[in-house]
Amino acid sequence: MKPIVGKIAAAVCAASLLLAGCSKAQGADKPDSSEKEQVSITHAWGTDTYPANPKKIVALGTAVDNLLALGITPDAVIEAPLDKNAPWRSKELASVKRIEVTDFATVPTEQVAALEPDVIIGDFWRITEENYQALSKIAPTLGAIGKEGEDLGWKKQITALGTLFNKSAEAEKVITDDQALFQKAKDEMPKLAGKTGLIAQYVKSRGIGVVTDPKEPGNSFLYDLGMKVPESVLSLPGRSGRAIVSAENISVLDADFMAIYAQEGSEADLRATPGFAALRQVASGGTYFGDTTLVQAINDPSSRSRAWALDQLREMLAKVEKAD
């Protein structure tokens, strides 16, 4: 039989896709008779009823990180090449069965159905409305809590997951610990305040992709350190808070700091782009040439990926902070 595949529209230049199978909550208290048997959650595509404390879970994208942060480890993970060995989660998934797919924009729905999950949990970029409709036929499906700004990010979802798994206190602690981590870094690098920064992806055939919405989770890394996105970027036309800047308009990307990777093409191609070397962050040495893992950790963040990325970029950020 030909496998049935549900398409996922990728709204970012590169995005990870992690699909986890039958799962158990580690350290979760056994629910008593007073606990709810069902939980109602309003999300980006409507309102659904979910079984409280579900045992079999299929998870996609940053939902995997949110579950791990709550002490819930999936039994199986479906992953595309871009997903492999994410350092902020790989150790905890070491013994988990992997189901590999070649394209992160597809979900093998037949295999998902075979797992007989109690719930399917993803994020804004993976649980599109189309995929929500398809996956909901298999099991109750939860993606982002909203469609824009902070509502489509990890914080709102982990709060909802706290309710779903009777772990609201744990969910709140994940958020407060994340806030404390970035506040500490902000206090240690006070001169970052007001400086401009970008998280970008280079696609040779199209240009440089950036996040334009200041409230979008992809920019939270910068704002939580007291930095901001240049006004020239905030005013760019785009979709879902993102935009592509063509080579001839590269000057709008001028900033104090930039983390970037070449999703298509090479670093050499990027450096050869007319006007790139003249950007302030390139000329001053404030540009970090990373890889898919780093930029994706910030672009589609979770508490875990943010902590890892902060550690990776701290030396560069300290350099930017000291620059005039």
Q: What is the pLDDT of residue 11?
A: 35
Residue with tokens 């309710």: 163
Residue at a domain's end among 152, 176, 200: 176
Strand ranges inside the chain, DSSP E: 6-7, 18-25, 38-43, 46-51, 56-59, 72-74, 76-79, 97-100, 106-107, 119-121, 141-142, 197-203, 207-211, 242-245, 257-264, 287-289
Whether residue 209 is found in the same domain as residue 170: no
Asked if the structure places residue 127 within a domain, the reply is: yes
The radius of gyration of the chain's CA atoms, rounded to the nearest angstrom, is 20
Instruction: Give every residue of the chain whose pLDDT is below 70, as ranges.
Output: 1-36, 103-105, 240
Co-location of 130 and 51 in the same domain = yes
Q: How many CB atoms lie within 10 A of CB 40?
A: 10
Answer whether residue 131 is part of any domain. Answer: yes
CA 261 – CA 270 distance, rounded (Å)? 9
| 111 in Cβ contact with 4 (< 8 Å) | no
DSSP secondary-structure letter at 2? P
CATH number of domain containing 35: 3.40.50.1980
Residue 104: phi and psi, rounded to 5, are -70, -10
Report yes or no on 103 lying in a domain.
yes
The pLDDT of residue 104 is 64
Residue that finishes a domain, picked among 176, 210, 235: 176
**pLDDT confidence of residue 272:** 94
Q: Are residues 11 and 160 in the same domain?
A: yes
**Statement to judge: residues 117 and 206 lie in one domain:** no
Residue partners of 183: CB distance under 8 A and separation at least 6: none
Same structural domain, 296 and 270: yes
The answer to whether residue 182 sits within a structural domain is no
Residue 140 pLDDT: 97
The model's pLDDT over 64-98, given as tens digits with 9 standing for 90+, comes to: 999 999 999 887 777 777 777 789 998 888 887 77
Q: State how far the Cα of 119 lies from the Cα of 138, in Å rounded to an integer.
A: 9
Residue 57: beta bridge partners? 119
Residue 1 lies in a domain: no
CB 259 within 8 A of CB 290: yes
Q: Are residues 14 and 160 in the same domain?
A: yes
The closest alpha carbon to 70, from 161, 153, 144, 145, belongs to 161
Residue 184 resides in a domain: no
Q: What is the pLDDT of residues 242-290, one digit of tens each?
A: 899 998 999 999 999 999 988 889 999 999 999 999 999 999 999 999 8
Same domain, 270 and 215: yes
Asked whether residue 194 falls in the same domain as residue 168, the answer is no
Q: What domain range includes position 57?
A: 6-176
The answer to whether residues 208 and 253 touch, using CB atoms and an 8 Å cutoff, is: yes
Q: Give CA angle at 254 (252, 258), nearest 5°.
A: 120
Q: Which residues of 94-133 are buried (b: 16+ CB within 10 A; e: fewer)?
A: eebeeeebeebebbbbebbeebebbbbbbbbbbbbeebbe
Same domain, yes or no: 201 and 152:
no
Do 24 and 131 reside in the same domain of the chain?
yes
Answer whether residue 183 is part of any domain.
Answer: no
Domains in the chain: how many in total?
Answer: 2
Domain boundary pick from 121, 142, 176: 176
For residues 148 and 253, membership in a common domain is answered with: no
**Tokens standing for residue 186:** 């902000």
- Name 91's Cβ contacts closer than 8 Å, sequence gap at least 6: none
Same domain, 267 and 238: yes
Q: Which residue has the tokens 């003249």?
A: 278
By C-alpha distance, which of 294, 281, 290 is closest to 253?
281
Is residue 181 a part of any domain in this protein?
Answer: no
